[in-house]
Structure 1
Amino acid sequence: MSKSTIVRGAFLLTAASFLSKFLGMIYVIPFNAMVGADGVTLYQFAYLPYSILVTVATVGVPLAVSKFVSKYNSLGDYYTGMRMFKTGMSIMALTGIVTFLALFFGAEFIANQIISDIETTIRVEDITMVIRMVSFALIITPSMSIFRGFFQGHQSMGPTAVSQVIEQIVRIIFLLIAVFIILNILDGEVTTAVGFATFAAFIGAIASYVVLLVYWKKRKRHLDKNITQQEFTHDIPKKELLSELFRYAGPFVIVSIAIPMFQLVDNFTFLRAMDDIGQEKIATALLGSIYTLSHKLVIIPVTLATGLSLAVMPVLTSSFTQGQKPQLINQINQALQIILVLVIPASFGLSMLSKEAYGTLYNLENIEETGALLGWYAPIGILFALLSVTAAVLQGINQQNHAVFNLLAGLLFKILFNIQFIHWFGAKGSIFATAIGVGIAVGLNLIRIKKSVEFPFKQLIKRTILIGIFVLFMWIVVLILKLVLGAIFPFEESRLGLMLMLILGVSVGGFVYLYFAYKSTLLERVLGDRVRILGKIFK
């Protein structure tokens, strides 16, 4: 597959993921205003256990199916992929029911583990209810994920992209309308409103499923034609078929839940650790601030990694299966460089303007601390992105077991040292523990990639240094801009002033970075000819 094809597939999924995550950030603004800090944290308590299970269905399975279908398609055997699809649909329908029942009836146990011995305004009954409301989405998402993975295995990214966007739009519309009606028309409780906010995941999943069914109906004739024209079929027993699928899916599942698992550690330890150091009064608000509000901003640059990992998987698998080592190395190189050239400036730019971004989008309450926490958390987006892509690369070259072990090593560090770091550094200690834990996993992944395919890091290191220099230029310009604007009027004292600084900072800082990256031909070398629009701008 050509460089332009992998970039096109990556950007299609990335654009959909970006739009989805952007909408996910925007809706939090009115949602936060309606339910308050405790409501946001309650939503966090419910959504994390759900997101771990739903990630198993909506990320792990599609990547496994994508790899499976791509492998047999590259061998000219379309029938085997179709067999897997039909069998997998039945298995995933059962998986959906099982995970739904597990989360629904385990809700009270999870709630007790979070806050049973801590004095807080959120009750165990509240967490139990909202977890049960969100659990219904698990009935649909596993079988929906098979559809996405099947299309991606055929290197067709459109169905996944469109269904993701429709799912998010429908979910957000239902969520905001339900919360508004419950709180402002029915005069209901915040807990009830948050419960329906989580139930919106079920409504969005239904919408996504309908979109995928429409695509399936349109493309079924073409898929059947491929099967009738193939010359050879692997006669694989159904038991071995499923065994191969789940050998792929197991590692995908574990790596796909990496980010939620790091957050889950804080769900169970953050409040207790903050209580130990006498900061229990602000602990609930800060937990929601970091891992719901700030995370919504940090994860937007990481969507590039998500889209890229989905697009690169069938491509890497095909090159690896056919023994095309030079092409495989080029694809890995491009995957990593796309991440670095775009995610590094975005993450550090958010860190520079953390106070302005948080104050503009959310609120000015305790802005000094919440803005600073976002500033510390933003660069971790680079590590999250690298974790997603390096894990996808390892899975594409049949090193998925190492991806699992490396992740577990990083997660073990987070579990062992999270409370201690919070004791040492306060709320930001949990951020430091996450950074080190994820960094361990990324470092081990890169080492394994180098050993497995003799991957040369020289070009990657040189371009990373160049990116760092351009980011430094951007940092200096934004700093000067803040000093000049601050001398004209105290913009930090009002939401409007912070918004003005945010707009100017993003515009000027982004222009500076893109200018140097374009003029140095860095963007062209990494992204190909898809930067022509910048040429018109900089002329």
Structure 2
Amino acid sequence: MTDKQLIRGTMILTASIFISKFLGLIYIFPFTSIVGLEGLALYTYGYTPYTVILSLATLGIPLAVSKFVSKYNALGDYRTGQRLFKSGIVVMSITGVIGFILLYLLAEPIARHVLDPSNLQGNTIDDAVFTIRMVSVALLVVPIMSIIRGYFQGFQSMGPTAISQVIEQVIRIIFILLLTYLIMEVWQGELGTAVGFATFGAFVGALGGLAVLLVYWGRRRGNIQKQVEGSTIDHQIPLKKMYKELLSYALPISFVGLSIPLYQSIDLATFNPAMRVIGYEQVEIDKYFGAFMQAAHKLILIPVSVATAMSLTILPTVTKAFINRDSEQLQRHITQTYQIILFISIPASLGLVLLSDSAYASLFGLADMEIGAFMLKYYAPVAILFSIFAVTASLLQGINRQKYTVIALIAGISFKGIFNYPLILWLEAGGAVLATGIGYTIAIGVNIWAIGKFANYNYTFLLKRLLLFSIFALVMGLIVIAVRNVIGMVLPLETRFNAFVILICSVMSGLGIYLYLSVRSGLAGQILGHRFKFLSKRKVREGS
């Protein structure tokens, strides 16, 4: 495969990931309109343990398979990759079945721990058990689908993964919105039934994605077999040694992918019990939990996704500079990566803090706006930490120091696990946000230290730039507050339309002044000029 074809395939895969994530973000708005914050909480009671068990069932193996197959294909040994694939299908089938049985059996203990058995309002234990068991069925399909994607990617074929991901997400979202609407609005059904079928959408979407992969397999099986039969070498690696190598690739990947699910699992285990001790009723707890774990979380992931997507494209150049021992280029690329993430995430997070009420009201409605806006306001700054952790973890991977990401994650998770419950008792729902923020700060501290040590990176210039970003963001914030207050006097925050007008006008004003300051100072050209050439007309000298 030529470099041009490889770049094209990577772009297709990147586009599919972005589309899938975007769809995964926006469907939550109509879904919330149908089921409310209580429904979001119930959905999370099912989806959080599912995500963790899925990650444990696959252990990052699909991406590792891609790397393994690509390596041996490049050596002319297609048989080794095929042996791993055939064995991996069996292994993923077994781990999927084990994961399904485990989650199915744990459904009631999880539900009884999270929900109050004496509760007469809000979500019930039976609702949570039904929801968890409905989503558990997806574990029978998703691991198998993942390893097939990894095998195709090992041949540098990104199309099957890209198309199947988008189809999977589209089918899942259509199923969720259609079924919940019919059950709640047409058939006047129960909330627990609607949310249970919503989580079952993971299984239905996975079937759609698997069907796409099987079609591709049918078309390409002949060509793949010809390559296998034409192998110029056969390393004849024993399966035990093969899996040892595979796990060496997979474990760092799986730990990074587990970061957010692990933090959310701690909240699942401690949030409700702590809030009950404080004196909250279950129906109130469900609303806070739904706002925290779904509504606010989805909103803050928007700037996180944009920032990380723009910065992570630089990482291959980091790896190349590290391998070539080009210290000057390595320093430059690391600086550029950090600058992009901070340039985008700082103003975006500040904007969500200042416009939390209008953002929540315009996207989710006025129902329970106070709770939703409260959680969004305190959770929004954590978006900066999510972005930095993702990028620093990838930078460590680029310089082949993945183990420090694992150490960082363990340190952050340990803090969250120890202090989440007492912080909730002290600060109520805000305590869970604070525990997450401090946990990520600890993890980032380890990552930053490791990058400084092993890449010999000097943070002095970056700290100066951080001060400049903060000044521009502060000016932006003052403009946003002024615009928001002026429009609020004419259009009180009493309707969804008014909230939308306040949000749009405030965002456009804030974005305009931030970009103006960035372009006039030359900062935008320095940071994003390689992507948007018109910004390069004004540059500042790096390090000045």
TM-score by length of 2: 0.86
How many angstroms apart in 1 are the aligned matches of 2:225 and 2:337? 33
Post-superposition offset of 1:307: 4.8
Give the whole-Å Cα distance in 2 for the aligned partners of 1:309 and 1:67: 22
**Matched letter for residue 513 of structure 1:** Y
Asked whether the equivalents of residues 92 and 143 of structure 1 are also in contact (C-alpha less than 8 Å), the reply is: yes
Match of 2:431 in 1: 429
1:71-150 mapped onto 2 (5 Å cutoff): 80-116=80-116, 119=119, 121-150=122-151
- Counterpart residue type for residue 203 of structure 1: V
Q: For residues 373-421 of structure 1, what are the alpha-carbon distances to aligned partners after superposition, in whole Å with 9 as ceiling and x for unaligned?
A: 2011112112112222222333444433322221111111111111222
Match of 1:477 in 2: 479
Cα distance, 1:314 vs structure 2: 7.2
In structure 2, the CA distance between the partners of 1:342 and 1:238, relative to structure 1 (3 Å rule), is: same
Say if 1:60 and 1:333 are closer, same or farther in 2 by CA, change over 3 A.
farther
Pairing partner for 1:283 from 269, 275, 285: 285
The answer as to whether partners of 1:43 and 1:130 remain within 8 angstroms in 2 is yes
CA distance in 1, matches of 2:326, 2:152: 24
CA distance in 1, matches of 2:80, 2:138: 30
Question: Which SS does the other structure have where 1:491 is aligned?
Answer: coil
> For 2:359, which of 357, 360, 375 is the aligned residue?
357
Residue type at the aligned position of 1:449: I
Q: 1:217 to 1:435 in 2, by over 3 A?
A: same
- Who is 1:339 aligned against? 341
The aligned counterpart of 1:392 is: 394
Aligned to 1:43: 43
Name the structure 1 match of 2:466.
464
Residue equivalent to 2:271: 270
Contact 1:78 1:227 in 2 (8 A): yes
Distance 2:148 2:310 in 1: 19
CA distance in 1, matches of 2:247, 2:351: 40
State whether residues 108 and 125 of structure 2, in contact with CA within 8 Å, keep that contact through their aligned partners in structure 1: yes
Higher alpha-carbon deviation: 455-464 or 354-363: 455-464
Pick aligned residue for 1:407 from 409, 424, 427: 409
Gap regions ≥5 residues in structure 1: none
Rounded to whole Å, the distance in 2 between the matches of 1:494 and 1:124 is: 35
After TM superposition, the structure 1 = structure 2 runs for residues 195-344 of structure 1, keeping only pairs within 5 Å, are 195-215=196-216, 234=235, 236-280=237-281, 282-304=284-306, 307=309, 331-344=333-346
Would the alpha carbon gap of residues 117 and 316 (structure 1) be closer, same or farther in structure 2, given more than 3 Å must change? farther
Distance 2:226 2:321 in 1: 25
- Residue equivalent to 1:441: 443
- The alignment's C-alpha RMSD in Å is 3.5
- What CA distance in whole angstroms lies between the structure 1 residues aligned with 2:132 and 2:338? 37
Task: Decide whether aligned partners of structure 1 residues 193 and 161 sit closer, same or farther in structure 2, where only a CA change above 3 A counts.
Answer: same
1:37 partner amino acid: L
Residues 1:309 and 1:468: Cα distance change in structure 2 (over 3 Å): closer
The range that moved more, 37-46 or 389-398, is 389-398
Structure 1 distance, partners of 2:94, 2:320, is: 30
2:381 to 379, 382, 398: 379
AA of the residue aligned to 1:270: F
Give the aligned partner of residue 542 of structure 2: none
Cross-structure match for 1:367? 369
Give the C-alpha shift of residue 227 in structure 1. 7.0
Shift of 1:59: 8.2
Bigger mean CA deviation after superposition, 436-445 or 333-342: 333-342
Change (3 A) 1:232 1:462: farther
How far apart, in 2, do the equivalents of 1:476 and 1:282 lie? Answer: 34
Partner of 2:385: helix, strand, or coil? helix
Structure 1 position 170, deviation (Å): 1.0
Aligned residues: 533
Change in Cα spacing, 1:7 to 1:116, as seen in structure 2 (3 Å) is farther
Higher relative contact order (CA 8 A, sep 6+): 1
Counterpart residue number, 2:541: none
Separation of aligned partners in 2, 1:67 and 1:318: 17
The residue identity in structure 1 corresponding to 2:350 is F
| Counterpart contact for 2:100–2:137, Cα < 8 Å | yes
Q: Is the 8 A contact 1:13 1:307 kept in 2?
A: no
Tell me if structure 1 keeps the 8 A contact 2:311–2:341. no
1:268 is paired with a residue whose SS is helix
> Which of 523-532 and 38-47 deviates more?
523-532
Letter in 1 for 2:395: V
Structure 1 CA distance for aligned equivalents of residues 126 and 508 of structure 2: 46
Give 1:450 deviation, angstroms: 2.2
